[in-house]
Amino acid sequence: MTAGRPLPTLLVIPTGIGCELGGYAGDALPSARLLAAASGCLITHPNVMNGAALYWSDPRIHYVEGSALDRFARGTIGLRPVRRQRVGLLLDAGIEEDLRWRHLQVAEGCRASLGLEIGPVVTTEAPLDVSLSQGASGASWGQLGRPEVLLRAGQQLKAAGATAIAVVARFPDDSGSEALAAYRQGSGVDALAGAEAVISHLLSRELGLPCAHAPALSALPLDPALDPRAAGEELGYTFLACVLVGLSRAPDLVPLLPGVSESSGLPAPAADLLQIGAVGAVVAPAGALGGAAVLACAERGIPLIAVHNPCVLDVSAEALGLPALKAGCYAAAAGLLVALREGISPAALQRPLARLV
Are 137 and 91 contained in the same domain? yes
pTM of the complete model = 0.91
Average pLDDT over every residue of 341-351: 94
d(Cα 292, Cα 276) in Å, to the nearest integer?
A: 14
- The mean pLDDT value of the chain amounts to 91
Are 284 and 332 contained in the same domain? yes
Residue 302 lies in a domain: yes
Number of structural domains (the chain) is 2
Instruction: Give which of 20, 23, 22, 40 is closest to 31, Cα–Cα.
Output: 22
Are 310 and 197 contained in the same domain? no
Q: Which of 213, 248, 283 is the last residue of a domain?
A: 248
Are 295 and 279 contained in the same domain? yes
What pLDDT is attached to residue 268?
Answer: 40
Could you report the per-residue pLDDT of 194-215, keeping only the tens digit for each? 788 889 999 999 999 999 999 9
Residue 259 lies in a domain: no
Domain CATH for 202: 3.40.50
d(Cα 54, Cα 50) in Å, to the nearest integer?
A: 7
Residue 355 lies in a domain: no
What pLDDT is attached to residue 266?
Answer: 44
What pLDDT is attached to residue 170?
Answer: 94
3-state helix/strand/coil string of the chain: CCCCCCCCEEECCCCCCCCCCCCCCCCCHHHHHHHHHHHCCEEECHHHHCECCECCCCCCEEECCHHHHHHHHHCCEEEECCCCCEEEEEECCCCCHHHHHHHHHHHHHHHHHHCCEEEEEEECCCCCCEEEEECCCCCEEEEECCHHHHHHHHHHHHHCCCCEEEEEEECCCCCCCHHHHHHHCCCCCCCCHHHHHHHHHHHHHHHCCCEEEEEECCCCCCCCCCCHHHHHHHCCCCCHHHHHHHHHCCCEEEECCCCCCHHHCCCHHHCCCECHHHCCEEEEECCECCCHHHHHHHHCCCCEEEECCCCCCCECHHHHCCCCEEECCHHHHHHHHHHHHCCCCHHHHCCCCCCCC
First to last CA, the chain: 29
259: left (phi over 0), alpha (psi -120 to 50) or beta: left
Are 108 and 75 contained in the same domain? no
Could you report the per-residue pLDDT of 25-34, keeping only the tens digit for each? 899 999 999 9
Residue 284 lies in a domain: yes
Residue 255 lies in a domain: no
Q: Which of 183, 213, 248 is the last residue of a domain?
A: 248
Residue 54 lies in a domain: yes
Are 170 and 90 contained in the same domain? yes
Residue 258 lies in a domain: no
Are 68 and 92 contained in the same domain? no
Are 120 and 205 contained in the same domain? yes
Query: What pLDDT band is residue 1 in, cutting at 50, 70 and 90?
Result: low
d(Cα 94, Cα 220) in Å, to the nearest integer?
A: 19
Are 93 and 203 contained in the same domain? yes
What pLDDT is attached to residue 122?
Answer: 98
What pLDDT is attached to residue 259?
Answer: 54
Are 173 and 225 contained in the same domain? yes
Residue 2 lies in a domain: no
Q: Which of 215, 232, 248 is the last residue of a domain?
A: 248
Instruction: Give which of 19, 13, 17, 15 is closest to 42, Cα–Cα.
Output: 13
Are 243 and 95 contained in the same domain? yes
d(Cα 238, Cα 219) in Å, to the nearest integer?
A: 8
Are 221 and 118 contained in the same domain? yes
State which residues form the domain around 318.
9-81+272-349
Cis upstream peptide for 255 (omega within 30°): no
d(Cα 289, Cα 294) in Å, to the nearest integer?
A: 6
